[in-house]
């Protein structure tokens, strides 16, 4: 279909709010000046652009309602960290804020950021201010803008990692909002840049705005996500992003990138117009042209994305509705030149960067698995205290991965015994202490913080993994690499739709005391660990306690019938979910 716009679409409410915010300011300024524990929905909508979500503690919701009290309002603050990079000092600031003004835990996200939950309204400003003083930011960690830019966090000293680091940071700067509202609201007008200043727009169109030349007054129709990846290490899950840069490596250096477009996983099962989609190759761009091509993609999304129906306001729907050739023609139109065809390259593998790894400069980095990204003290496992002690002692860099783990960089070989003693002292698990299936699993936060959660995820997945570990050991698959990803609703925050086994919250379960229980899940099978194939629904509304029982026969068949070297996801995709005992009604 040719590109077209609905002649007179009724704009969604958020569009009017963005316009009225005067570049992201008015409603938040008023809300911060007012008393009270929370802000209006309108102000909370604009607050997202500043990196914070208004939430409430859902564990106490039913009780408080019965007692006719207001919800336990609190805010989640997301710290933007391109590539998950941080210094020891920055880690310690996040730890201090989580401990003093948050709920006592830090949460590594699937997009290489920290989230601090449980911040009260009166503590929002000191929290965000402190983050900026440590040369980090929360600007655009959420909202209808380019989000945190992902790239390989491995601190490997080679020209490839350095080139990707430079390119990704250049893009992150270029795509950052330019309005000064952020500094006015949180830093009393004192500008602190955590990224290099953005510079002028490069792809000029008549719609360019003097304050926000890329975004304009109403920013993007919806969130927009970018990742950089290597074909032999897709650790950023590049295909799940609106915009992907897949490195083309020739004679030991990155000459450019295959530009991928249209990835996005959010879906509403009751609305057929929504679906998960993996990014497809658009073109090849030499290194020097990625800012132009990226900006053209952002601007086409800005100008043609759906601003009346937020459920359909992602780049993937433009590409689906127009077709890739028409989309590519529009990008060429914005750029004023013809694009080169993509190179015949696809992702081949993923490295989670865990364990001791040589950096290439005589030093090592240590990748620690953090179950579901939650850094907290729990009984003998004192991860929060342990990492604090580590960064107080060693002034080295840290990195966050898209698998919700942390890398400790720049370690001298001679430090290994004392670091291993530190891990024992604080009960911190190394990669050899966790099973393969736990290592490759992820869950989103879901209850009690996420306002959209239907079921548990982060608090429920460890129990599923316990049972899966024993099933896999019995079947003889204990060392099999397969990704298990659970979310508390179909929005896909832990990227369940391209994993080997996806568990997506579908039906709420209410305990006798009125609190929500683990719930029922849709099981998806047949994705790929490499992240470049969607899985398909296998069974729907499976009660939490039945998940592993329903998976066991499929795992047994895999063990008995797999082709040589075949992965679990490939096996499921080859046989199809109906042949594996799946519900035929769920298949298209
Ligand atoms: Fe997400 C909304 C958590 C990565 C798709 N996501 C939310 C909110 C903010 C709920 C809300 O809107 O009120 C969740 C906050 C929960 C909490 O209490 O912390 C939330 N999303 C997360 C995180 C923390 C999950 C995690 O386990 O780490 C991830 C934060 C990443 C970051 O640092 O920015 C997170 N979210 C993702 C991803 C994965 C990715 O980007 O690689 C996706 C799928 C990819 C995509 O965007 O399509 C994702 N989140 C969504 C959606 C569905 C969007 C859509 O197009 O339909 C929503 C709902 C929405 O935006 O309305 C959402
Ligand atoms: Fe919340 Fe759903 Fe995202 Fe989980 S997948 S964090 S429940 S929006």
In the block, residue with structure tokens 């049972």: 467
Whether 78 sits among the annotated catalytic residues: the reply is: yes
Residue 520 to residue 9: CA distance in whole angstroms: 37
Tell me the per-residue pLDDT of 20-69, one tens digit each, with 9 for 90 and over: 999 999 999 999 999 999 999 999 999 999 999 999 999 999 999 999 99
Q: What is the mean pLDDT of residues 89-101?
A: 98
Distance 452 CA to ligand 1 centre (A): 10
Beta pairing partners, 284 = 258, 340
Q: Do residues 506 and 520 touch, judged by C-beta distance below 8 A?
A: yes
The CB density around residue 8, as the number of other CB atoms within 10 Å, is 6
From 25, 48, 78, 485, active-site residue: 78
- Find where tokens 């298949």 sit: 587
In angstroms, the first-to-last Cα distance of the chain is 23
Instruction: Give the number of the atom of ligand 2 that is nearest the alpha carbon of residue 450.
Output: 1
Q: Minimum mean pLDDT among 85-89, 300-304, 508-512, 521-525: which range?
A: 508-512
Phi, psi of 441 (to 5 degrees): -110, 155
Q: What is the pLDDT of residue 3?
A: 52
pLDDT-derived band at 1, boundaries 50, 70, 90: very low
Cα–Cα separations (whole angstroms), residue 525 to 332, 497, 550, 583? 38, 9, 12, 12
Average pLDDT, integer, range 204-218: 89
pLDDT at residue 5 greater than cutoff 60: no
Does ligand 1 lie within 6 Å of residue 388's CB atom? Answer: no
Query: What is the Cα–Cα distance from 77 to 127, expressed in whole angstroms?
Result: 8
450 as an active site residue: the answer is yes
No. of helices (H) and no. of strands (E), the chain? 17, 21
**At residue 4, does pLDDT exceed 90?**
no
What is the chain's mean pLDDT, rounded? 96
- Give backbone dihedrals phi and psi of 400, rounded to 5 degrees, phi first: -105, 140
2 has a pLDDT exceeding 80 = no
Question: Quick one: pLDDT at residue 196?
Answer: 85
pLDDT at 336: 96
Do residues 242 and 333 lie in contact, with contact meaning Cβ atoms separated by under 8 Å? no
Angle (nearest 5°) at CA 11 between 149 and 200: 40
Distance 235 CA to ligand 2 centre (A): 21
Please tell me the number of the ligand nearest to residue 449's CA: 1
Q: Using the mean position of ligand 1's atoms as its centre, give its distance from the Cα of residue 443 in Å.
A: 11
Share of the chain above pLDDT 70, in %: 98
pLDDT at 545: 94
Looking from the CA of residue 444, the nearest atom of ligand 1 is 27
- Residue 388: its pLDDT value, please? 98
Q: What is the pLDDT of residue 518?
A: 80
- Determine whether 545 is exposed, middle or buried from the number of CB atoms within 10 Å of its CB (0-12, 13-18, 19+): exposed
**Ligand 2 cavity residues, CB under 6 Å:** 444-446, 450, 452-453, 457, 487-489, 491-493
489 is catalytic: yes
* Among protein residues, the one whose CA lies closest to atom 14 of ligand 1: 450
Beta-bridged to residue 259, according to DSSP, are 245, 283
Least confident of 172-186, 246-260, 503-517: 503-517
Closest by CA position to 374, among listed 90, 60, 117, 54: 117
Hey, which of 446, 494, 502, 504 would you mutate to test ligand 2's pocket, going by the most ligand atoms within 8 Å of its Cβ? 446
In order, the DSSP letters of 294-361 are HHHHHHHHHHHS-SS-GGG-SHHHHHHHH-HHHHHHHHHHHHTSPPBPPPS----------EEEE-SS
Identify the CATH homologous superfamily for domain 1-12+148-188+219-350.
Sulfite Reductase Hemoprotein, domain 1 (3.30.413.10)
Residue 565 corresponds to which tokens in the numbers above?
């070297």
Catalytic residue among 438, 489, 495, 506: 489
Is residue 346 exposed (0-12), middle (13-18) or buried (19+ Cβ within 10 Å)? middle
Does residue 6 surpass a pLDDT of 60?
no
Mutational pocket test of ligand 2: of 373, 447, 490, 493, the residue with most ligand atoms within 8 Å of the beta carbon: 493
Ligand having the closest approach to the CA of 229: 1
Tens of pLDDT, residue by residue over 116-138, are 999 999 999 999 999 999 999 99
pLDDT at residue 271 in the model:
86
- pLDDT number for residue 588: 59
Mean pLDDT across 157-184: 97
Asked if domains 1-12+148-188+219-350 and 438-586 share a fold, the reply is yes
What residue spans define the domains of the chain?
A: 1-12+148-188+219-350, 355-435, 438-586
Query: Which ligand approaches the C-alpha of residue 489 most closely?
Result: 2
Q: How many angstroms does the Cα of residue 461 sit away from the middle of ligand 2?
A: 14
Query: What's the whole-number mean pLDDT along residues 330-336?
Result: 97
Q: Looking at the predicted structure, is the pLDDT value of residue 205 above 90?
A: no
Mean pLDDT of 8-19: 92
Q: Is residue 106's pLDDT more than 80? A: yes
493 annotated active-site: yes
Residue 513 confidence (pLDDT) above 80? no
Annotation marks residue 444 as catalytic: yes
Give the CATH superfamily of 355-435.
Answer: Sulfite Reductase Hemoprotein;Domain 2 (3.90.480.10)
**152, 402, 493, 572: which is the annotated catalytic residue?**
493
Residue nearest to atom 3 of ligand 2 (CA): 493
Share of the chain above pLDDT 90, in %: 92
Q: Is the pLDDT of residue 84 over 50?
A: yes
Residues facing 358 on adjacent strands: 364
> Under CATH, domain 438-586 is a member of which superfamily?
Sulfite Reductase Hemoprotein, domain 1 (3.30.413.10)
312 is catalytic: no
- Please work out, in degrees rounded to the nearest 5, the angle formed at the alpha carbon of residue 94 by the alpha carbons of 93 and 97: 85
pLDDT tens for 384-418 read 999 999 999 999 999 999 999 999 999 999 999 99
223 a catalytic residue: yes
Which band of pLDDT confidence, cut at 50, 70 and 90, is reported for residue 197? confident
């Amino acid at each position: 279909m040719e590109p077209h716009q609905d002649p007179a679409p009724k704009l969604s409410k958020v569009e009017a709010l963005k316009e009225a915010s005067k570049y992201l300011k008015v409603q938040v300024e008023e809300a911060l000046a007012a008393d009270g524990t929370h802000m209006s929905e309108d102000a909370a909508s604009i607050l997202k652009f500043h990196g914070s979500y208004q939430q409430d503690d859902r564990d106490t919701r039913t009780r408080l309602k019965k007692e006719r009290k207001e919800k336990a309002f609190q805010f989640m603050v997301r710290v933007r960290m391109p590539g998950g990079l941080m210094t020891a000092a920055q880690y310690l600031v996040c730890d201090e804020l989580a401990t003093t003004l948050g709920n006592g835990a830090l949460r590594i996200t699937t997009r290489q950021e920290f989230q601090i939950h449980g911040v009260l309204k009166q503590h929002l400003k000191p929290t965000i201010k402190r983050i900026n003083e440590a040369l980090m930011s929360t600007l655009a960690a959420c909202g209808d803008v380019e989000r945190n830019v992902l790239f390989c966090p491995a601190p490997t000293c080679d020209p490839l990692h350095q080139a990707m680091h430079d390119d990704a940071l250049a893009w992150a700067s270029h795509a950052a909002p330019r309005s000064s509202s952020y500094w006015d609201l949180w830093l009393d007008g004192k500008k602190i840049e955590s990224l290099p200043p953005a510079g002028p727009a490069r792809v000029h169109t008549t719609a360019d705005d003097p304050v926000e030349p890329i975004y304009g007054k109403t920013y993007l129709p919806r969130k927009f996500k970018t990742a950089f990846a290597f074909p032999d290490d897709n650790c950023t899950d590049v295909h799940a992003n609106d915009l992907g840069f897949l490195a083309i490596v020739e004679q030991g250096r990155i000459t450019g990138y295959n530009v991928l477009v249209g990835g996005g996983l959010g879906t509403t099962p009751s609305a057929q117009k929504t679906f998960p989609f993996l990014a497809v190759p658009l073109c090849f761009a030499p290194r020097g042209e990625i800012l132009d091509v990226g900006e053209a993609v952002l601007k086409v999304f800005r100008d043609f994305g759906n601003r009346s129906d937020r459920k359909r306001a992602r780049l993937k729907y433009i590409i689906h509705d127009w077709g890739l050739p028409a989309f590519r023609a529009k990008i060429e139109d914005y750029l004023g030149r013809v694009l080169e065809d993509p190179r015949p390259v696809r992702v081949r593998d993923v490295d989670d960067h865990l364990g001791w790894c040589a950096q290439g400069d005589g030093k090592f980095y240590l990748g620690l698995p953090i179950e579901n990204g939650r850094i907290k003290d729990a009984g003998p496992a004192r991860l929060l205290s342990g990492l604090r002690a580590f960064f107080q002692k060693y002034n080295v860099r840290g990195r966050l991965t898209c698998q919700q783990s942390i890398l400790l960089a720049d370690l001298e070989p001679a430090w290994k015994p004392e670091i291993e003693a530190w891990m024992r002292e604080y009960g911190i698990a190394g990669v050899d202490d966790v099973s393969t299936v736990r290592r490759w699993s992820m869950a989103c936060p879901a209850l009690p913080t996420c306002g959209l959660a239907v079921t548990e995820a982060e608090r429920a997945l460890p129990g599923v993994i316990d049972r899966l570990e024993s099933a896999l050991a019995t079947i003889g698959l204990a060392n099999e690499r397969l990704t298990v990803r659970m979310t508390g609703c179909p929005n896909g925050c832990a990227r369940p739709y391209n994993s080997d086994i996806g568990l997506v919250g579908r039906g709420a379960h209410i305990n006798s005391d009125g609190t929500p229980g683990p719930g029922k899940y849709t099981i998806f099978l047949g994705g790929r660990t490499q992240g470049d194939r969607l899985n398909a629904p296998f069974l729907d509304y499976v009660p939490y306690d039945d998940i592993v029982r329903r998976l066991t026969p499929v795992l047994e068949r895999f063990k008995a019938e797999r082709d040589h070297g075949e992965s679990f996801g490939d096996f499921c995709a080859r046989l199809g979910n109906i042949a594996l005992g799946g519900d035929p009604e769920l298949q298209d």
